[in-house]
Amino acid sequence: MNIETIAVLGAGTMGHGIAQLGAEASLNVVLCDISGPALERAMKMIEAGIVIEGRTIEQCRAITGRIKGMTSIRDAVRSAGLVIECLPEDLELKKKVFREIDGICSPEVILATNTSGLSPTEIAKGLSYPERVVVAHFWNPPQLIPLVEIVPGERTSLSVVDAAVEWVRSLGKEPVRLKKECPGFIGNRLQLALLREALYIVDEGYADIEEVDRSIIYGHGRRLPVTGPFLSADMGGLDIFHIISSYLFPVLCNAPEPSRLMQGLVEKGDLGMKSGKGFYDWNDEMRKKTIQLRTETLVHFLEKDTSKG
């Protein structure tokens, strides 16, 4: 695989982060968005992110110098060896964009989607070359989280999956390869299972929101960077975990609908940090403090990953 230029479609949170990753890996990056102001905001966020991560001014200029903003999809993908779509989670929108780029890009160009759970088979339906469509699901913030889920559709070729894995590794990230697609892939299935139980604990009055968060931060959060669920079970003893599951599985939440607590907040427009209120009240001080702490922690783990490599 010899990819020198990538096109990133969408300049939002994920798009600008992936653009930064590509530029840091010495790739030429075309960041495309229909909105000129969105492209300007994205470049400012990339510059700010690079500085927060401890880069020098010279390094910042070198990285941003490899990123070019465009508002035309046709112009953006014309010279790309790989295109990654980072648009909102709207299946019809994604299908429309993939039909467009499928007709522009030569057959050997990989068409990746950063969807967090939509079907790559559906996205590729009706394309001339569905075998080149693959999911490369980066996690937020993509420049700091190593995980990238690589998910094939029913007609994705093995060589495209292999190439996507190789490309992700070239960015310094950790590809996790699924054998076949499933809704939500691995990460979001586990994340939403945890959130469902956390919401249930609060809904049932067992504990307050802050205490549930603290139990993860000071418990699972300290262990999970080293041991995932299967390693943790092995280390704790499968006999012990089997006994616990025998009495706990029957009483865990298995609700098929979203939590009433979360639904009520969404209906009021309390969407979390982006609206200023959600489970917590997000004033400027809390927002800045939380983002800074998250960034410092993720950078710490990235440095440990680099030292191990």
223: pLDDT confidence band, cut at 50, 70 and 90? Answer: very high
Residue with tokens 């929101």: 209
Amino acid 51: pLDDT: 72
309: pLDDT confidence band, cut at 50, 70 and 90? Answer: low
Q: What are the tens digits of pLDDT across the range 282-298?
A: 999 999 999 889 988 98
In CATH terms, is domain 5-177 a member of 3.40.50.300? Answer: no
Residue 33 near residue 11 (C-beta atoms within 8 A): yes
Q: What are the tens digits of pLDDT across the range 253-276?
A: 999 999 999 999 999 999 999 999
Separation between Cα atoms, residue 259 and residue 199, nearest integer Å: 7
Number of C-beta neighbours around residue 40 at 10 A: 13
Residue 147 near residue 119 (C-beta atoms within 8 A): no
Q: 138 pLDDT exceeds 80? A: yes
User: What's the first-to-final CA gap in the chain, in angstroms?
Assistant: 22
Amino acid 305: pLDDT: 83
Amino acid 191: pLDDT: 96
The residue-averaged pLDDT of 73-88 equals: 96
Instruction: Examine residue 258 and say whether the peptide bond preceding it is cis (omega within 30 degrees of 0).
Output: no
- The Cα angle at residue 31 between residues 30 and 33, in degrees rounded to 5: 135
Q: What are the tens digits of pLDDT across the range 225-258?
A: 899 999 999 999 999 999 999 999 999 999 999 9
Length of the chain: 309
Amino acid 56: pLDDT: 78
Amino acid 216: pLDDT: 96
Torsions phi, psi of 176, nearest 5? Answer: -115, 120
* Nearest residue to 128 (alpha-carbon basis) of 152, 149, 100, 160: 100
SS (H, E, C) the chain: CCCCEEEEECCCHHHHHHHHHHHHCCCEEEEECCCHHHHHHHHHHHHHHHHHCCCCHHHHHHHHCCEEEECCHHHHHCCCCEEEECCCCCHHHHHHHHHHHHCCCCCCCEEEECCCCCCHHHHHCCCCCHHHEEEEEECCCCCCCCEEEEEECCCCCHHHHHHHHHHHHHCCCEEEECCCCCCCCCHHHHHHHHHHHHHHHHHCCCCCHHHHHHHHHHHHHHHCCCCCHHHHHHHHCHHHHHHHHHHHHHHCCCCCCCCHHHHHHHHHCCCECCCCECCCECCHHHHHHHHHHHHHHHHHHHHHHHHHC
Q: 72 pLDDT exceeds 90? A: yes
**Has this prediction a pTM greater than 0.75?**
yes
In sequence order, which residues have a C-beta less than 8 Å from that of residue 272 and are 6 or more positions away? 278, 279, 280, 282
Give the domain ranges of the chain. Answer: 5-177
In sequence order, which residues have a C-beta less than 8 Å from that of residue 277 and are 6 or more positions away? 270
Q: Which residue has the higher pLDDT, 52 or 248?
A: 248
The residue-averaged pLDDT of 211-226 equals: 94
